[in-house]
Structure formats: C-alpha cells, structure tokens
C-alpha cells in the first residue's frame, strides 16, 4: 500500500513493504510485564496490537520525500531475494520497486537514499540482483549512511567476518560503497538541501534521525528510536535489538520531548496504521500517540 501526506511544500509517501501481527510482547520487549499493556489496549488494538493473537503489528515501510527537486528514499526496507536468518525477511518477492515508482521514486529518478541506522531491514533496496550480481538500485542517488554504523560494520567485514549485519552489509551496502555512491553522515548539518541530521544513538551506536521543515511545518524520520506506538506511553521500554540500553532510553526521552513541543509529525519505520502521527503530552503528565490519517489511499 502507498499513502501520501504533505509537510509544508514537501510531498511525503510511505510505501508498505509488508505488515502484520508478527511479534510477541516478550520477544519485542523482554522487560515488559504484559499487564502494563492493559490501560493501552483500547487504542493499541487493532492497528498496533492484535489482542486475539497477542502479537504486535509491525510494518516494514519505506518513506519517500519530494522536496525542492529532490526525490529522497528513507530506510529502503528488506529487499527481495535476500538470504536472511529471519523467516519473515528470507527470500522476499514483493513488488516494492513498482510501488516506489508509483510514489515517484523509480530507480533513475531518486536523488538521495537516506539510512537512519545499519540493520538489515533498513538497507535492503539499496541494491537489486542483476545477472547474479548485487547492483545499486538507485544509480543516480547519493546514499547517506550513518558514519559510526558504517565504519563499525566495515571494520568487522575487513577482519574477514562473514554475514555482517546478517549478510546485509555484503549484499545491500558494500556494492553501493564500491560504486562510489556513499556519503557518510555524522549527525550534524543539513543534507539533501532540506533535511537536518541529528544524532540519536542507542538503537545502534550511530543511529540518526532527520528533520524536514517546510512553511512552518515539521516532520521527523526517526528510524527505530521506537518500534511500537506503545513506547510513546511507556518510553522506558527497550526492544531486544536496542544495542545500548541507557542511551536508547535517553534518546527516546529527548525525541518525545522535542516532538511534543514542536508539534512534529513523527514517521517511524515500523508503526501500524496510519503509520505516523503526533506525540501529545509531556514527561510529567505522560505522552500519548495521536494518529495522523493520510491525505489519500491507494495512490
């Protein structure tokens, strides 16, 4: 599915690679007492949690921004035909390139690919398989990778360790780097003419998020500072894949404070329908999630 919105003059699409009730609470949040969810089930279900299955609804989504003549793809998903340890990501065969093209992000028109952090479900469509070789999917785009995450992954690869990032470094990152299409971002300054990069470490050491401002409106692409809307109400919760626990909590607290104060549209990687929204409240009164409906459906 493809949905669209505006942030000022910028047109924003989110393209759903796949979505479903997939993750058990104790798998996603090892420290969660499921009784903590009871006050929140009325708004979590059905779009963020399937109570009958007792599974969180997790989306794999790719954001596309049209701004100032640029076509920017954020966190390009899992990708097709990848050998992955997770059954949910293994050897996908979706129509994602056609869906991206429908959102105005065909392979040749994309000017920038922005990756918030180095996990395998955020880099996949950086490449595609051509005659048995992994080639850049977006040959005319600059690929903005988090410097800390990239250098850490490259160091492991250069030591001869196989399957770095579950194999994603070899099949989704290295071909783009070897093609000379990579710029490393350290979390400071403007990129792509319209985005402000900010360090948001915790999920990974080099995690970034990106602010988009236009005509007084603001949106932010935070990657995986949160996996579920539940973390807005219970921000102390970390996922099992948050590599640096206390940093992750500190970054999430800062993110929520800023989002609430600035009336920022938050566009994470994995939220269920409508996949984005606003943070309301404060650290003192507690935060809550306000969904933001898209402008159009099925565009």
In this structure, what token pair is assigned to residue 294? 């898209």
Domain hosting 142: range is: 2-297
pLDDT tens, position by position, 204-244: 999 999 999 999 999 999 999 999 999 999 999 999 999 99
Q: Which pLDDT belongs to residue 284?
A: 95
Find residue 296's DSSP bridge partners: 4
The rounded distance, in Å, linking the Cα atoms of 278 and 29 is 22
Q: Please provide the distance, in angstroms rounded to a whole number, between the alpha carbons at the two ends of the chain.
A: 8
- Average per-residue pLDDT for the chain: 96
For residues 8 and 215, the answer to whether their CB atoms sit within 8 Å is yes
Q: Where residue 292 sits, what CATH number does that domain have?
A: 3.60.15.10
The rounded distance, in Å, linking the Cα atoms of 165 and 159 is 14
pLDDT tens, position by position, 23-80: 999 999 999 999 999 999 999 999 999 999 999 999 999 999 999 999 999 999 999 9
The count of structural domains within the chain is 1
Q: How confident is the model at residue 298 (pLDDT cuts 50, 70, 90)?
A: very low
């Amino acid at each position: 599915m493809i949905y669209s919105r505006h942030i000022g003059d910028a047109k924003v699409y989110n393209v759903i690679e796949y979505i479903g009730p997939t993750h058990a609470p104790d798998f996603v949040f090892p420290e969660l007492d499921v009784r903590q969810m009871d006050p929140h089930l009325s708004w979590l279900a059905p779009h963020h949690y399937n109570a009958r299955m007792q599974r969180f609804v997790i989306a794999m989504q790719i954001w596309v921004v049209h701004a100032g003549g640029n076509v920017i793809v954020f966190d390009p998903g899992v990708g097709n035909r990848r050998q992955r340890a997770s059954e949910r990501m293994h050897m996908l065969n979706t129509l994602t390139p056609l869906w991206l093209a429908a959102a105005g992000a065909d392979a040749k028109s994309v000017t920038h690919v922005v990756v918030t952090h180095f996990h395998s479900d955020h880099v996949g469509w950086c490449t595609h398989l051509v005659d048995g070789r992994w080639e850049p999917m977006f040959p005319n785009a600059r690929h903005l990778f988090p410097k800390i995450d990239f250098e850490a992954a490259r160091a492991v690869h250069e030591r001869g360790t196989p399957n770095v990032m579950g194999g994603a470094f070899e099949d989704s990152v290295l071909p783009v780097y070897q093609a000379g299409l990579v710029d490393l971002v350290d979390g400071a300054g403007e990129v792509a003419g319209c985005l402000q990069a900010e360090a948001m470490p915790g999920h990974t050491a080099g995690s970034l998020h990106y602010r988009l401002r236009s005509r007084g409106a603001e949106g932010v692409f935070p990657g995986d500072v949160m996996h579920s809307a539940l973390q807005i109400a219970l921000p102390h919760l970390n996922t099992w894949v948050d590599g640096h626990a206390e940093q992750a909590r500190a970054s999430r607290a800062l993110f929520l404070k800023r989002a609430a104060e600035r009336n920022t549209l938050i566009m994470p990687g994995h939220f269920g329908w409508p996949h984005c929204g606003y943070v309301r409240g404060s650290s003192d009164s507690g935060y809550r999630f306000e969904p933001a409906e898209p402008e159009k459906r099925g565009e």
